[in-house]
Chain A
Amino acid sequence: MNKLQKPIFEKSRKGKIGYSFSPTEFSDDLITIDKKKLREDIKDFPQLSEVEVVRHYTNLAQLNHSVDSGFYPLGSCTMKYNPKINEKIANFEEFSTHPYSPHKFVEGNLEIITTFEEWLKKITAMAAFTLTPSAGAHGEITGMMIIKKYLSSKGDPRKTILIPDSAHGTNPSSAHFAGYEIIEIPSNKDGIIDVETLKEYLNEDVAALMMTNPNTLGIFEKNICKISEILHKNGSLLYMDGANMNAFMGIARPGDLGVDVLHLNLHKTFSTPHGGGGPGSGPVGVASYLIKYLPTPIVYKKDNNYFVKYHEEKSIGRVKNFYGNFLVIVKALTYLMSIGKEYIRKVAEDAVLNANYIRKSLEPFLELPYKSKTLHEVVFSDNNLNVTTLDIAKSLLDYGIHPFTIYFPLIVHGAMMIEPTETESKETIDEFIDVMKKILEKAKNDPEYIKGAPYTTPVSRLDEVLAARKHILKWENLGE
C-alpha cells in the first residue's frame, strides 16, 4: 500500500465528529468571563469521523521504517528490539497517578523509582542517580551543571570542558548551556584520546573531560583509568557520555573505571522505544562526593516509607517537572528485570559479536580508517568509492534496510557508522552484508543507478535545499 496521505486538514469536512463524550451538564449562563477573552472557532481545525482518523494515522504509520518492521543499524542509536511486555506494564492504569498525589497513595511508583536507581547503581558502580532528565542531552546538561556547582562551591570555578573531536554535537552544546567554554582535543591515530596529548591540554581552567565511551568510532577508551587519574590530579572531573553503554553493560562499570559523572540513555541501552524522536530518558549517575549536587526532587526510602525531598541546599535545582519521564522508567525497569543477572552480560556480548561479524565481513570492501579493536559498532569510510555514503544509504532503503548513521563522526570522511545490536539474528545480519556487497558491486558497474536510489520508497529523494530556502512549516488553507 504505502500510499502518501493528503494533509489531515484537507480530509476535513464541516460537521464530522470523531469523538463521543457525555455532554456538559450545565448551561452557558454559568460563564462569567468577559466575552472578549473567549475565542472564536479554531480556524481550519480538523473535522473527521473516527474511522477516517484511524485510516489517516494507520496509513501514515505504513510510510515509516521502524525496528518492528526491519533492520535498523543506526550507529550510536542502539536500535534494539523494544519488548512488548514493557509497553503493557507501563500502561497499567494504576501507574498513571497524579504527580502531586500524597505520597502514601503512590508508594508503588516511588518504589519503582528507588528500585530502578538501585539497579542502575549495581550495573554502573555510581553512588547515586537522578532519573529526572528527559533525554541524553538533558542528562548531559544536568551532569555539566553538577560539575559546575561542585567546583564553584569548592571555590575553584573553572572555565573549560575538554571534548574529543569525535564527540556528538550535543556534548559541546550541553557544556555551553551550562556556562562552559569548549576546547576540542584531537583523537590519536588509534581513534582514542591520547594520554600525552591530554596532558598538554590540562591546566587549572579545565573543569572536566567529556568522554563518550566507547567513543563514536566504537572504540573503548582503553586508557580511561589513567585518564581519570591525571584528570583528578589536575582537579578536573571525568564525565562519561554513556550513549554507547550497550557495548559493555555487565562487562565493566563506569564507577570502577574512575568516572565521576555518567549519563545513560534508557531509549538506547535499556530498550525503551525511541518514538520517532522521543520521549527518551537520560538518568545521571554521580560519584559519592557529588550526591548533594543532584537535581531535585530526590526520592528516598527510610524505614520502609518513601519520602521526597524537594529542596536541597547544594542541589543544582530542578531540571524537569515532577519526576522525569516516569513511564519510560517503568519500561526500562521491566527490561532490566526481564534480563536479570543471567542475561545482562549477554547484551554486550552478542551486540559486540554481531558488530565484529559485520566489520570483518565488510572490511575487504570498504575502507576502515581506524584499525583499533571495536565493540558494538564499526565506522567505515567512503574513500576510494565512486559513489558516496549518502548514495549507499539511499540504496539500502530499496532493500528494506534502514541505513546506518551517515557522515558522523566528523573525523571520518563519509562515515558509515553501523551498529547492529544484540537483538538481530544472524540471518538478518548475513542479509545486510549481502546487500552491502551487492550495492558496492553495482556501484562499480552502474554508479548512476546507485546515485538515483531509492526507487521503491513512498517518496524519492526530497529537496532539502528547497525546504531550507522556502519555509513551509505548517499547512495553510489555500482554498479549494
Chain B
Amino acid sequence: MALPAYTTPLERIWHYTYLFICGLIFFFLIAPIVVIMPLSFNAVPFFTFTEEMLRLDPAGYSLKWYEDFFTSLNWQGAVNNSFIIAIFATLISTTLGTIAALGLSRADMPYKSVIMGILISPMIVPLIISAAGMYFFYTKIGLSSTHLGVILAHAALGTPFVVITVTATLVGFDHSLIRAAATLGASPVTTFFKIIVPLILPGVISGGLFAFITSFDEVVVVLFVGSYKQRTIPWQMFSGIREQISPTILAVATLLVIVSILLLCTMELLRRRGERLRGITPH
C-alpha cells in the first residue's frame, strides 16, 4: 500500500494512523499466544514475569513445568487418549466424509441442499446442545464413559469439515478425466485410485486435518460423554484451570501452540500443492 505522490498531508497522517491501528489489532491477536511461551519457563509458580526473568537471569527460568508434564500420569494419559480418540475419529470422518462428498458433487444427486444441510449440521448446532443430546442418548445405549462413545461423537463433529473441503476440491474437478481414463481401459477402481485420489488428496488431507484438530481441541463433548478414563488434553486443561491452575498448563499450552504452527504450515503447503495440481498458479 504505497502512497501515491499526490497525497495530502492529512491523508498521510490518516494512513499512518490506520496502519498503527492495524498493528494494534494484530498485536491483540498474537500477543496472548506469544506471552505464554516465556511464562511457561517460569521458575516460580506465578503467572507473570518475575524480576529474575526480566533481568534474563538464568535462575529465573526453569524447565520444571515441562518435566512435570512429561512425568505426570494424568497428563501422559491425557496425551494418549487425545491421540487415540482423534486418530480414530479422523479415520471414520475422513472415510465417510470423502465418500459422501463424491456423491454430493455428482450432478444427478437429488435433494442436494437438504442433505448437505443435514450433513453439516453438527458444525452449526452449538456444542453444548450436541453434548447434551449425546450425553442423554449415549447414557441410554451404554456408550457414555467409553472410548467408543467419544470417538463416535467426535467423528460426527468432524465430518462436516471433510465434506466441505472435499466438495470444494471437487468443484474444480474435470469429469472428462474419468471418461478419458475409462476410454484408455482403466476399471472404475483403477480410475478411483490413479486419477481421482491424487487430485482430491489435498482436499481430503486438509479436511482430515480439520477433523483431527476438531477432535483434538474438543472439550465440551468429552466433559459430558467421557469420564476421567477418557480424559483428553483439553479435558485435563479444563479441570486443571477450574481446580488449581499450575504453570504446567502453560507448558502444555506452549507445546500445543507449536503443534498448531506445524499444522498451519502443513495446510499452507497443501493449499499450494492443490492450486498447482489444478493448474491455478498463485498470483
B is bound to A: no
User: Hey, which bits of chain B sit against chain A, CB under 8 A?
Assistant: none
